[in-house]
Structure 1
Amino acid sequence: MTLGRPLALFAAVCAALAAVTPARAHYPFCTCEKHGETIRCKGGFSDGTGAEGVKLDVIGYDESVLIPGKFGKDSVIEFTPPTADFYVLFDAGPGHVVEVDHNDIP
């Protein structure tokens, strides 16, 4: 009795499993800072990808969109803060949402 064929099959399965790359989670981030009379926000993902074209809106506490926007090519957006209380909503889709309250912006 020879074990050649089962051993070869086992080796092939092990090689295939070793070649599978596990899915890597990437989490969104958004940092905002005051720059003189404006606020500058930078967004991206933990895997190093940027947020170009991703929606970033300034929302009032009444849930109205005060300033609609999207990140630029450099994953940055700058805006003049509204006079009303607000938060910044970085929305890259389900599971990829970040909120930054105006009280948390240094």
Structure 2
Amino acid sequence: MNAVTKALFLVVVGLLSQTVQAHFPIMTCELENGMIRCETGFSDGSLTVNKPVTVLDYDDEVLLQLKTDSASAVEFSAPEGEYYIRFDSGHEQPVEIDYDEL
């Protein structure tokens, strides 16, 4: 393997290893006694402090606009009607959970 081929190989391996280390946003929500608690984070275990969690109806009207706390969580009263919860970490695609999945 000549020096140019070896250098190109190392660059490609370096780029692939960065892709493998990528993380994605996650959110879990639970409904109990009319209260919803959602915990957010990244797949690598990183916290998502002060990130937006939005509750929307099916017309995409904002019902609640929240920010995660120091534990990467939000808690709120369940809205009336049909809605979904969106966590947008600003990284990758937002996570959405529909009210009937709670």
TM-score bracket, normalised by the shorter chain, equals: 0.7 to 0.9
Instruction: Report the Cα distance in structure 2 between the residues aligned to 1:64 and 1:50, rounded to whole angstroms.
Output: 28
The equivalent residue for 2:56 is 59
| 2:89 alignment partner AA | A
1:84 corresponds, among 69, 81, 86, to: 81
Q: Give 1:95's aligned residue.
A: 92
- Describe the superposition over 1:67-94 as per-residue Cα deviations: whole angstroms up to 9, x where unpaired: 1001100011000011021000001125
1:47 paired with 2:47, answer no
Asked which structure has the greater CA Rg, the reply is 1
The CA deviation string for residues 14-71 of structure 1, in whole angstroms up to 9 with x for no partner, is xxx4xx5821110111000012220000000011101111110001111011010011
Give the letter aligned to residue 32 of structure 1: C
Identity across matched positions, percent? 36
Deviations 1:85-104 (A, max 9, x none): 10000011252310000000
After the TM superposition, which segments of 4 or more aligned residues of structure 1 sit over 4 Å from their partners? Answer: none
Which one of the candidate residues 11, 28, 31 is aligned to 2:28?
A: 31
Alpha-carbon contact 2:25-2:91 (below 8 Å) kept: no
Return the alpha-carbon distance in structure 1 between the equivalents of residues 32 and 81 of structure 2: 18
Structure 1 gap segments, 5+ residues each? 1-8
| Pairs aligned (count) | 97
TM, length-normalised to structure 1: 0.77
* TM-score, normalization by structure 2: 0.80
Q: Which amino acid aligns with 1:31?
A: T
Query: Could you say what the CA RMSD is over the residues aligned between the two structures, in angstroms?
Result: 2.6
